[in-house]
Amino acid sequence: MRVMRIVLLLSLALNLAVVGLVAGAALSGKRFAPPRYDLSLGPIGAALSEEDRRAIGARLRDQPGLPSGPRARRRMMEEMLAVLRSDPFDPAPLAEAMAQHRARSAAVLEAGQAALLERLAAMSPAERAALADRLEAGARRPGRSRDGG
């Protein structure tokens, strides 16, 4: 009976903690968002202003030949799931899907870097200096090593 009481008290404490976190987040007015990782633009992409990121995103959306977004990813995922669930398992279709994903990622990376360079070239020296300052400040945040690892 004593063990059951301890378990109930721990459960109540955990529930109250969760409610407190949710209520605190709601009352603070801040919206929870998972961290964004911009693999195609790297640390410079993270230091860009919201306006610059939007402009680069618009440039990429307007670029013909780039693989499309959510529908293509969903279709690729469905194909991979079907292969994983097949019996007997044939790794060849999965290898092909992985190769297509790798090619898509490389195309997006290349286009993203080209759009970034285009945007940087259009900036004034003062805008690039401000970007450099934000990039440097981001690199100095606690928890980040100086060697990038």
Report which secondary-structure segment, H or E, holds 127. Answer: helix 125-139
- Six token digits for residue 142: 């606690």
The domain ranges of the chain are: 42-139
CA gap 112, 118 in Å, rounded: 10
CA gap 137, 142 in Å, rounded: 10
Q: Tens digits of per-residue pLDDT, 21-47?
A: 555 555 666 554 444 434 467 788 888
Using the predicted structure, report yes or no on whether residue 10 has a pLDDT greater than 90. no
CA gap 21, 60 in Å, rounded: 38
CA gap 140, 138 in Å, rounded: 5
Q: Tens digits of per-residue pLDDT, 75-100?
A: 888 988 999 999 999 999 989 888 88
Domain 42-139 has CATH 3.40.1350: no
**Pair 55, 119: CB distance under 8 Å:** yes
